[in-house]
Amino acid sequence: MLPDCYRGRRSPGRLGLVTLSRMDNFSGRSVFFVKDAEESMACYTQTLGFALDWNHQVEGRAFVFQVSLFGFQLILNQIEDGTKDRAGHGRVFLGIEKDQAAALREHVRTRGIAVTRFHWGNPTFVIRDSDGNELFFWLPDDERAEWEAELAERGGA
């Protein structure tokens, strides 16, 4: 049974099968809710080294803004009454390819970013923001060993 959103898009003469259009330019971003958007903006731009792409302010303070790093884009949203329980509950997964791992590792090393190791199906490297939202990174096996050795030297988990 198909979800309701696909109903009514039938292709005549094809036994009533649904015809879906190909969408290859769909743009999506994750949204993390944060307690203090100004503090989060400082965390992402100063500590984690993201670029600030845009910043929507309310009463002269950041309210919703977007940051990016190595092509990854993330929106951060100040909590309000209806979203106050969402701060710090975000998690995004980034699968890193071999040709991307060295640049990411160098970025983490030079900025002194705190990274922890967590087993999430495979060894996973985690960076947390000031609210506790999580950036999960999976690395190729050979790169993972180098990250683990470096974390051990830095006293990381």
Over residues 19-54, the pLDDT tens digits come to: 666 767 778 899 999 999 999 999 999 999 999 999
- Quick check: is 56 in a domain? yes
- Quick check: is 13 in a domain? no
Residue 76 CB contacts under 8 Å (≥ 6 apart), including other chains: 31, 32, 33, 34, 37, 40, 41, 44, 64, 65, 66, 67
Tokens found for residue 48: 């984690």
* Tens digits of residue pLDDT in 99-125: 899 999 999 999 999 999 988 888 899
Residue 8 pLDDT greater than 80, yes or no: no
Tokens 């015809």, residue located: 19
What range does the domain containing 97 cover? 28-154
- Quick check: is 10 in a domain? no
Specify the number of domains making up the chain: 1
What is the CATH number for 131? 3.10.180.10
- Quick check: is 138 in a domain? yes
- Quick check: is 2 in a domain? no
- Quick check: is 6 in a domain? no
Instruction: Return the amino acid letter for 18.
Output: V
d(CA 118, CA 143): 16
Instruction: Return the amino acid letter for 51.
Output: A
The pTM score is: 0.80
Residue 7 pLDDT greater than 70, yes or no: no
- Quick check: is 84 in a domain? yes
